[in-house]
Amino acid sequence: MVWTNLHAKIHRTIRSRRLFEPEQRLLVAVSGGQDSLCLIKLLLDLQPKWGWELGIAHCDHRWRDDSQANAHHVKNLAENWGVSFYLETANKPVNSEATAREWRYQALSAIAQAHNYQYIVTGHTASDRAETLLHNLMRGTGADGLQALTWQRLITGNIWLVRPLLEITRQQTAQFCQEFQLPIWEDSTNQDLKYARNRIRQELIPYLQTNFNPQAELAIAQTAELLQAEVEYLEQLAQQLKEEAMDWGQINSKFKIQNSKFKNPTSSPPSPPLRLNRRVLQKAPLALQRRVMRQVLQEILPDAPNFEHIEKLTALITAPNRSQTDPFPGGAIAQVQGDWIILGTGDKIIQNSRIQNSKLENCP
C-alpha cells in the first residue's frame, strides 16, 4: 500500500483528537463523490493499524435521474473492497437540500442503530467548513453558526457523527482521488448555480481567493475552528448560569399542598411554570444572558428560537415589574414578577402570581 502525507495526517488527527478508538465499528457515509471516496480509501488503508470494522452506507434521495446508478456504483465499490454495504432509498423523491440532509441523517442513524455501529463518518472537508461559515454568516446565525461543522457530535442515543477530513481541502481530496484512480461519481447538481451552496463554492470562494487571500478557504476554516472552542466554553458557562438562575420545583410543591385537586392521587399535577431569577442573571454579561435565554427557549419552543425571541426574553432581565412578552410560538409567554421571570402558558403564570401574592400575605 502507498502511504501518503494525507494518510499520515488523518492518522495523526484521529489519534490526537481521539475521534475513534481501535477496534470500533465505523459506518462510512459514501455518496460516491470525491470527498467521501477519499475518506473511505483513507480509512480502509488505516484499518489494519486500528483494527476497525468498516461498513459503507449510501442514501438514495431519488432526486436525480442517475440516483439509482449512483447507488449501484457505490455498492460495487463496497463489494470490491469486501466491505458491508447498506442502502436506504427515499420513499418519494426528496425535493430540497435541507430535507435531503435531514432524511439522510435519519437514514444513516437507523442503519447505524440496526447494525450496531457507534460512529457515522462523513467526508466533510475544510472547504465545506469555509462554505458553511460564509453561508451562515450571511444568514446571521451568530458565533454558533460560524463554528460551522464540528469534528464530532452526538447524533442519537449513543451514536456519534464524526468528520475526520475537516483540515483537508477539496483540492486535496481531488488530487488524492486522482493519484489512486478512485472512480468518482460526478453529481450533476453540484454545478447548478440555483443552489446558494454552489454559488458560494464556484463563485464566492474563487473571488475571495483571487482578490483577497489565495488561502481564503483554509483561513476561514481555521476561524471556524477557533470559534468552536469559544462557543463550547461560552455554552458551558451559560449552562452553569442557567442552573443557578432556574427554579422548576419549589412552586409546584407549594402549589400541590394548596390545591386540593392535587391531593387526589389519580390526577397528575401540571408541569410548573419555569422561573428564572433576575438577580442572578443581572450580574452576568450580556453574551451569557442571551445564551441562557436561548437554552431556555430551546427547551420550550417547538422550533429553534430566533434572534427576536431571544432578545425579547433577555430584555425582561432588566425590565420593570409586570412587564410581559407577547406569546412565543407554541403559546408560552414570559412575565416579570419581582425578582423572577416566569415562563409558561397564561394560566400557569396567573397561578404562579397567586402563589407569590399569598406568600407575601402570609409573611409575618
Ligand X SMILES: Nc1ncnc2c1ncn2[C@@H]1O[C@H](COP(=O)(O)OP(=O)(O)OP(=O)(O)O)[C@@H](O)[C@H]1O
| CB of 40 vs ligand X, minimal distance in Å | 9
Query: 109 with 161: CB under 8 angstroms?
Result: no
222 is in an annotated binding site: no
Question: Which residue from 27, 45, 112, 128 is in contact with ligand X, where contact means CB under 6 A?
Answer: 128
340-344 vs 333-337, strand pairing mode: antiparallel
Comparing CB distances to ligand X, the nearer of 58 and 242 is 58
Q: Which of residues 39-78 bind ligand X (CB under 6 A)?
A: 57-59
By CB under 6 A, is residue 35 in contact with ligand X?
yes
Q: Enumerate residues 6+ apart whose C-beta is below 8 A from 255.
A: 262, 269, 272, 351, 355
Closest approach of ligand X to the CB of residue 107, in Å: 8
User: Which amino acid appears at position 42 of this protein?
Assistant: L
Q: Which is nearer to ligand X, 118 or 323 (CB)?
A: 118
The residue among 35 and 355 lying less far from ligand X, judged by its C-beta, is: 35
> Is 59:107 a contact under the CB 8 Å cutoff?
yes
Please check whether residue 165 is in contact with residue 129, taking contact to mean a CB–CB distance below 8 angstroms.
no
Of positions 26, 27, 33, 200, contacts ligand X by CB under 6 A: 33
Region 289-348 residues binding ligand X, contact defined as CB under 6 A? none
Interface stretch with ligand X, choices 28-36, 152-160, 222-230, 307-315 (CB under 6 A): 28-36
Contact 159, 113 (CB under 8 A): yes
Q: Under rule CB under 6 A, how many of the chain's residues touch ligand X?
A: 15
Binding mask 98-117 for ligand X (x = CB under 6 A): ------x-------------
Cα separation values, 237 from 36, 71, 314, 320, Å: 36, 45, 17, 27
By DSSP bridging, strand 340-344 and strand 274-277 are: antiparallel
Least gap, CB of 29 to ligand X (angstroms): 3
Give 181 or 211: the residue with its C-beta nearer to ligand X: 181
CB 157 within 8 A of CB 223: no
Q: Which is nearer to ligand X, 35 or 45 (CB)?
A: 35
**By C-beta, is 65 or 326 nearer to ligand X?**
65
* Chain residue whose CB lies nearest ligand X: 33
16 annotated ligand-binding residue: no
Q: How, if at all, do strands 246-247 and 333-337 pair?
A: unpaired
Q: Closest separation between CB of residue 339 and ligand X, Å?
A: 48
Binding site annotation covers 36? Answer: yes
Give Dmax over CA atoms of the chain in angstroms.
Answer: 85
Q: At what angle do helices 216-245 and 286-300 cross, to 10 degrees?
A: 80
Minimum distance from CB of 112 to ligand X (Å)? 12
- Min dist CB 313 to ligand X, Å, is 34
Q: Which of 19, 27, 29, 288 is the binder for ligand X (CB under 6 A)?
A: 29
| 29 or 112: CB nearest ligand X | 29
30 binds ligand X (CB under 6 A): yes
**What whole-number distance in Å separates Cα of residue 227 and Cα of residue 225?**
5
The backbone torsions φ and ψ at residue 154, rounded to the nearest 5 degrees and listed phi first, read -75, 125
Q: Are 300 and 274 in contact (CB under 8 A)?
A: yes
Which of 55, 109, 124, 288 contacts ligand X by CB under 6 A?
124
31 belongs to the binding site for ligand X (CB under 6 A): yes
Using CB under 6 A as the binding rule, whether residue 36 contacts ligand X is answered as: yes
33 marked as part of a ligand binding site: yes
Q: What is the 3-state secondary structure (H, E, C) of 281-346?
A: HHCCCHHHHHHHHHHHHHHHCCCCCCHHHHHHHHHCCCCCCCCECCCCCCCCEEEEECCEEEEECH
Q: Is 122 in the site for ligand X (CB under 6 A)?
A: yes
Is position 167 an interface residue for ligand X (rule: CB under 6 A)?
no
Q: Which grid coordinates are listed for 154? A: 452526538
Residues lying near ligand X in the complex (CB under 6 A): 29-31, 33-36, 57-59, 104, 122-124, 128
Q: From the annotation, which residues make up the binding site?
A: 31-36
Q: From the annotation, which residues make up the binding site for ATP?
A: 31-36
